[in-house]
Amino acid sequence: MKDYWLAKLIASVPEVDSRKRRQKSIYLLQRAGCPLHCEYILHYYGPYSFALAGLIDQLKGANLINETPEPLAPGVVRYRSAITPRGRNVLESFEKTKAGKKARGQITPFMSGFKPLVEEDLWVLELAATVGYSYDGNWEYARACAAASKGILNKRLRELSQATELAKGYVKGQ
């Protein structure tokens, strides 16, 4: 079911402009209760899931989504992802089945939360996911952990505060 839910989230927006954005957005949705259940570790750029990366590879292999490389600098590439026409057809066909109707009902509440994350400033999204990862019931502690892990200086504290508020909107209590 994870492959359907992930494809449905990606299909709910015109595109996701980077792998980093996809990782952080899905992480925050999971903290809000999205049923993907991908395991995450804390990585240099915030929470990262090898399981999510594997699911994306499966969806690409089945031609349900595509990733378009966009060179940014020598050796630096960003990958934009979007649902393919075949992917839309597969989703529509599956949603006509009993299992598909049930799966759609489980993911629909999270689709509206995905769009604002896809549009959020990427640095703020990265910070929000890191704050969310560090949250243990104490927002000040989580904020301090994120600040330390990202080496945030005073001039970036406004963005950290904005990220903390974003995380609070998605991360459920422990």
Residue 31 and residue 49 in one domain: yes
The reply to whether 92 and 20 lie within a common domain is yes
In this structure, the answer to whether residues 45 and 74 fall within a common structural domain is yes
Q: Look at 19-23, 103-107, 114-118, 157-161 and tell me which has the smallest mean pLDDT.
A: 157-161
DSSP annotation of 13? S
Determine if the pTM surpasses 0.85.
yes
Nearest to 81 by CA among 68, 63, 62: 68
CATH number of the domain bearing residue 38: 1.10.10.10
pLDDT digits (tens, 9 = 90+) for 101-115: 999 999 999 999 999
Residues 90 and 147 grouped into a single domain: no
- Residues 104 and 126 both lie in one domain: no
**pLDDT at residue 173 tops 70:** no
My answer on whether 25 and 79 are in the same domain is yes
Q: Assign residue 137 a region: left if phi > 0, alpha if psi is -120 to 50, beta otherwise?
A: left
* Domain span holding position 173: 120-174
How many domains is the chain built from?
Answer: 2
Could you read off the pLDDT of 25-37 as tens digits, one per residue? 999 999 999 999 9
Q: Answer yes or no: do 127 and 91 share one domain.
A: no
Task: Give the tens place of pLDDT for each residue, 41-52.
Answer: 999 889 999 999
47 DSSP assignment: E
